[in-house]
Structure 1
Amino acid sequence: MQTKRALAAVRRYPIVAATVAVGVVVTAFALVGREDAARWTASVFALTVAALVGYSMVRDLLRGHWGIDVLAFTAILATVAVGEYAAALIICLMLSGGEALEDYAGRRAKRELTALLERAPRDAHRILEDGTVSDVGIEAVEAGDLLLVRPSEVVPVDGVLRSAVADFDESSLTGESLPVTRHTGDDVMSGVLNGARAIRLEARARAADSQYSRIIALVREAAASRAPVVRLADRYAVPFTLFAFLVGGMAWWLSGDPVRFAEVLVVATPCPLLIAAPVAFMGGMSRAAGNGIIVKSGGTIEMLANVRTAAFDKTGTLTYGRPELLAVLPAGGPGAATPRGLRLDADPEPLGARARELLQLAASAEQYSSHVLAHSVMGAAKARGLELLPGQAASESATNGVVATVAGRSVLVGKELHVRNHASGVEHYDLGPGEMAVYVAVDGRFAGVLVMSDRVRDDARSTLAELGRLGVVERLMLTGDQRGTADHIAAQVGLTRVLAECLPEDKVVAIREAPARPVMMVGDGVNDAPVLAAAEVGVAMGARGSTAASESADVVIVTDDLFKTATAVGIGQRTVRVALQSIWIGIALSVVLMLVAATGVLPAVAGALMQELVDLVTILNALRALGPTRGPRAGGRV
């Protein structure tokens, strides 16, 4: 086993292995007095490594990119030229070893990302009609199939629980450490870990359409992305390189000894700049994944850290997107002018016979509508023990309403104007802020109104307050709803600006014209896809959101938790802060070593070994990006 691991390490890091092997040979030559052989062997190998570095450097320069490998290339040539072959070998080990350490630290930082990929189920246990169980590939599962999920297995597809009760570990997707209990009829998200008992699950979607598969696709994209190493490191590359050449040149000129120049360049080798940024950024992406936030690229992490405007869609984002029934108002009743008198939350027995009949007929017709309000009306009727009656000759006018024949009666349900155009005696009802009305007509005559309201998320206000604390100066809402409803929501959650009655293209224009940049846009629906793509950072509420929104976004929140948007910004800020700290620590230590080496008291070999310690300190500091960010949630951990 140890031999296999050693061979795997050699294949993964061939230059490191070659450098170590050459170092052993050179040491053996030196010990037996073959100084010339030692010098020539080390020099030829060092020049070979320099040629590889130089090829990459020239290629970058031809593309107009000044890289920080100029220093490493010059340091190798300088040490070989002055006969410091041992230092040249150490520089080669430093460069190749630095890449190996970066790879190791990057894999350590990616651990939570790759854990999602490794846990992806490949098989499912389908329960056949005779009660037997057949193992099939996960791609063969169809919606409606009854599946067996054994203890400690990952749920393969989105489904509905058919067992009485079950416990699930959702920590890999949501970051929630405590098991979650589900009951018969509850939705179960693919990718969660089943508890200690076998359960039955009815598949609600095919594997390719399930939540976990979408998350896996996003994670693959995130894991394959590169952090903005070049942009971040190269901000310091030119001044750092020029400073090193200046110090080395001054040391050479003042001492008259070219060895001083080589000694300075040895400790100026810019491994901290090469290593710090990618390790910190991958750590931040891994930290985000552990919180149920998939960040698609390292560049997005850097953009999150600088967000100054946060824009939100309303329905399903700032609100739960599940309108609740507030009142049932039959036509001509005492509450026609003031629906507040018949509010459900004010009367323990609010539904009389006429109101129950109105709700039952409306819900029965709404069975044939795809509108979000239709599901809420049906849910309200079922919650009150009302049976949904079968309908005939049903047809829907998109966004306006639905008509169906229910129990021999023609029932029309929809917007006020639509019902007014197709029925007589329609009365207008004045609504309160945040309320919406579903108008109902029966047999061509107005029958009454159902008053609905989409409740604001419990964490909406705390989310916006936390974003303000993190330096997001403008927090606005972009919605297609009417001004009154939008203003009501804004007052509840603490928004700084509201744009109401927006079409999708209006939202895109608003994002592009926002003065405080970068802009983060948060949404969940298909209509949010264009504006998510237009923002510098698009955040999709992926737990219930559309695939289009998730694909257009840069960040996907896999749980139905709005506060994760503030968590993402906090993780971005901490990640960039750690990356910059690591870079500056490396620069500061290198500058000190350069000044010491310029005096001649730090031999080239000792300087190269000291630079290795600088690299180690830089990597360890960059790995702090994996740690928790302090914040107001979960006992200070977000």
Structure 2
Amino acid sequence: MTRILGLARRYWMVTLTILVGLLGIVLALSGVGWLVQWTFSAYALAVAAWQAVGMVRAMLHREFGLDILAVTAIVATVLVGEYVAALLVVLMLTGGEALEDYANQRAKRELDALLTRSPQVAHHAVGGGYRDIPIGEVKTGDVLLVRPSEIVPVDGTLLSPETTLDESSITGESVPVERVVGDVLLSGAVNGRQAVEIRATKTAGDSQFQQIVVLVEHAAQSKAPVVRLADRYAVPFTVFSLALGALAWWLSGDPVRFAEVLVLATPCPLLIAAPVAFIGGMSRAARNGIIVKSGGVLEQLARAKTAVFDKTGTLTYGAPALTELRPVKPLSPEQLLVAVASAEQYSSHVLAASMIAAARERGLTLHEADSAEEAATNGVVAHFGGSDVVVGKFAFVAEHAPDARRTAIAPGELAIYVAMNGRYAGAVLASDHLRANAKATLDRLGSLGVTRTMMLTGDAHETAEHIAAELGIGRVRAECLPADKVAEVAAITERPVIMVGDGVNDAPVLAAADVGIAMGAKGATAASESADAVILVDDIARTAKAVEFGRDTVRIALQSIWLGIGVSVVLMVIAAFGVIPATAGAIIQELVDLVTILAALRAIGGRLDARAAAVGVTPDAPGALQSPVRRSSSSR
């Protein structure tokens, strides 16, 4: 009962219309039926006047919609004495708005779920106990308690021995994951059955879940271009409907025909189908671990012709492992690695973490620099007391050490060059691996109409060409700076262009592409903020999924629009011959609206996802079969 009352208050215009209808029945049964016509007509004209005011305001802003059809239908039915039909048109109009609101709420359920689950407080460890504080007051380094079934409030490191987490709200993966002491816990994950302690590594605003919430809020407020395209159908559809009604009136000599045609000229297929379908498509994407920032992105994805990929961390796993140290004597391998890892502490490049990890695995002690500067995508210069260390690409190191020379590398390796105090000090070799499902993802994109592919990388030509050949990528540009990537994407003629990347250096080109897709699982904040869509799991196959969702959403939106329009036109033509009375026409059109909404709700994709599960691209996993990256001089 409470739910019914809540719906009645939420959709008060529908409630009021129904009450007016019930009042008419009471009046008719009371022997004062003549009041029914006046009651229904007065109420219908009041609603028409209210709608007309909004229509005029929109027209003053050069926005021409479909309200004129509803207003004209109400006025026409009242003037010809079809007062019951007039009330039904009002019910159709107000009910259509209510159905749209309900359908939108249903369609964006997954988006709303993320917003409503946002944690508000954290249990801060203080003096042997815990004190609840607002999540915004959590500082890096704070020790927090996460109770059973609670949401992890901020990104942090697990201090307790182990726990099990449900990360489905942020990754789309329904299988619980196990974490042990020292592992990173992402905010938004749901803790298992035991209370654990974590040490905050980020504030709430910088944490994974809060970033997702910001993206979702932006997505939920968007309006797709295809919806505006549907609005542009308003003028021809209105003209056609009015012309057909006028023709029926002229040929029959009966003004009732005009009203009978217009009650079937509902604008709902245009006004409702597209928004519902696009919100449903964004909801479907969120359920599958992809945050799409606007409905317009889905339309661009549906029409995409070219896909451009970064290499390291996108087509590859982005975690190169040290394979060999080649110092210049009298430097020892350990001394070379200490110098490299100490300098790389001040670099944000993916190779830096690999070098630091390799040094720590060998028990080496790293040095703290007096100062350090990183040249994006090129390398880093660090100063240690009286010693200068330069680490990075060959060309970058050669600028500081004229005696630098390239080193021979085997297939599957990349080289990081080192200079110390203006002299060449050697090279460090590492290897990266292609993602297990990279080729399958590209094949799937091709089957979806994205037939042109390109790779943009800061890596050397040899590696880039080899990877491109192995994956079947048509065009390659190696040794790119961020500005070079932007220029290359801008020069592509086969558009729309999708750009997929993961690092900070990809942020400019992600923003420049028609659709920028960020592999955001590793917390590349700059890339995620610049992108139009963010993949929350470390799985490149979701790129093809995003295109698939875009194509399905646009197809369903257009199918729903034309289904509603087609049925309405057929019914209007039949009504022009006097076959469908105005009252019956209004009832029939209500059913057409309902069918249109149900058709648009297919974009939520429950059945589509179930069918695709058996034939989809194999999920990526670091433990899966990997293909080695063949040849490189540096992947910076």
Fold shared, TM-score > 0.5 on shorter chain: yes
CA shift in 2, pair 1:236/1:355, >3 Å:
same
Matches of 2:374 and 2:242, distance apart in 1:
74
Counterpart of 2:258 (choices 256, 261, 264) is: 261
Matches of 2:274 and 2:280, distance apart in 1:
10
Residue 218 (structure 1) aligned with residue 184 (structure 2): no
- 1:84 is displaced (CA, Å) by 0.1
Counterpart of 2:86 (choices 80, 88, 93) is: 88
- 1:232 is displaced (CA, Å) by 3.3
- 1:564 is displaced (CA, Å) by 1.3
CA shift in 2, pair 1:393/1:82, >3 Å:
closer
CA shift in 2, pair 1:208/1:82, >3 Å:
same
**Mean alpha-carbon deviation: is it higher for 318-327 or for 206-215?**
318-327
Counterpart of 2:46 (choices 37, 45, 48) is: 48
Deviation track 1:262-308 (CA, whole Å, cap 9, x = no partner) reads: 11111122222221111111111111111111111222222221111
Residue 635 (structure 1) aligned with residue 632 (structure 2): no
**Does the 8 Å CA contact 1:324/1:455 hold for their aligned counterparts?**
no
Deviation track 1:105-125 (CA, whole Å, cap 9, x = no partner) reads: 100111110101111111112
Q: Aligned residues: percent identity?
A: 57
1:387 match? 364
- 1:236 is displaced (CA, Å) by 3.3
1:348 match? none
- 1:180 is displaced (CA, Å) by 1.0
1:183 match? 180
**Mean alpha-carbon deviation: is it higher for 77-86 or for 628-637?**
628-637
- 1:230 is displaced (CA, Å) by 4.3
Matched residue count: 614
Matches of 2:369 and 2:579, distance apart in 1:
95
2:557 match? 579
- 1:561 is displaced (CA, Å) by 1.8
CA shift in 2, pair 1:354/1:213, >3 Å:
same
**Is the partner of 1:559 in helix, strand or coil?**
coil
Matches of 1:127 and 1:479, distance apart in 2:
45
- 1:185 is displaced (CA, Å) by 1.8
User: What amino acid is aligned across from residue 588 of structure 1 in structure 2?
Assistant: G
2:234 match? 237
1:342 match? none
User: What amino acid is aligned across from residue 483 of structure 1 in structure 2?
Assistant: H
CA shift in 2, pair 1:367/1:611, >3 Å:
closer
**Mean alpha-carbon deviation: is it higher for 277-286 or for 294-303?**
294-303
2:504 match? 526
**Is the partner of 1:207 in helix, strand or coil?**
coil
- 1:68 is displaced (CA, Å) by 1.9
- 1:421 is displaced (CA, Å) by 6.6
2:68 match? 70
2:470 match? 492
Residue 566 (structure 1) aligned with residue 564 (structure 2): no
Matches of 1:178 and 1:165, distance apart in 2:
17
**Is the partner of 2:263 in helix, strand or coil?**
helix
Matches for 1:98-497 after TM superposition, within 5 Å: 98-128=96-126, 130-228=127-225, 230-331=227-328, 355-356=333-334, 358-360=336-338, 362-364=340-342, 366-367=344-345, 369-383=347-361, 385-390=362-367, 393=370, 395-396=372-373, 398=375, 399-403=378-382, 413-416=391-394, 427-432=405-410, 435-440=413-418, 447-497=425-475
**Is the partner of 1:208 in helix, strand or coil?**
coil
User: What amino acid is aligned across from residue 435 of structure 2 in structure 1?
Assistant: R
1:604 match? 582
CA shift in 2, pair 1:637/1:135, >3 Å:
farther
2:521 match? 543
User: What amino acid is aligned across from residue 246 of structure 1 in structure 2?
Assistant: A
CA shift in 2, pair 1:580/1:116, >3 Å:
same
User: What amino acid is aligned across from residue 214 of structure 1 in structure 2?
Assistant: Q
Matches for 1:16-55 after TM superposition, within 5 Å: 16-55=14-53
User: What amino acid is aligned across from residue 67 of structure 2 in structure 1?
Assistant: D
Matches of 1:30 and 1:45, distance apart in 2:
17
**Does the 8 Å CA contact 2:226/2:299 hold for their aligned counterparts?**
no
Matches of 1:193 and 1:366, distance apart in 2:
34
Deviation track 1:101-143 (CA, whole Å, cap 9, x = no partner) reads: 1101100111110101111111112223x53222222112111
User: What amino acid is aligned across from residue 635 of structure 1 in structure 2?
Assistant: A
1:513 match? 491
- 1:382 is displaced (CA, Å) by 2.8
1:59 match? 57
CA shift in 2, pair 1:498/1:120, >3 Å:
same
1:350 match? none
- 1:483 is displaced (CA, Å) by 2.4
Matches of 1:526 and 1:457, distance apart in 2:
20
**Mean alpha-carbon deviation: is it higher for 395-404 or for 252-261?**
395-404
**Does the 8 Å CA contact 1:310/1:521 hold for their aligned counterparts?**
yes
1:79 match? 77
1:340 match? none
Question: Which consecutive unaligned segments of at least 5 residues does structure 2 have?
Answer: 618-636
User: What amino acid is aligned across from residue 282 of structure 1 in structure 2?
Assistant: I
**Does the 8 Å CA contact 1:631/1:637 hold for their aligned counterparts?**
no
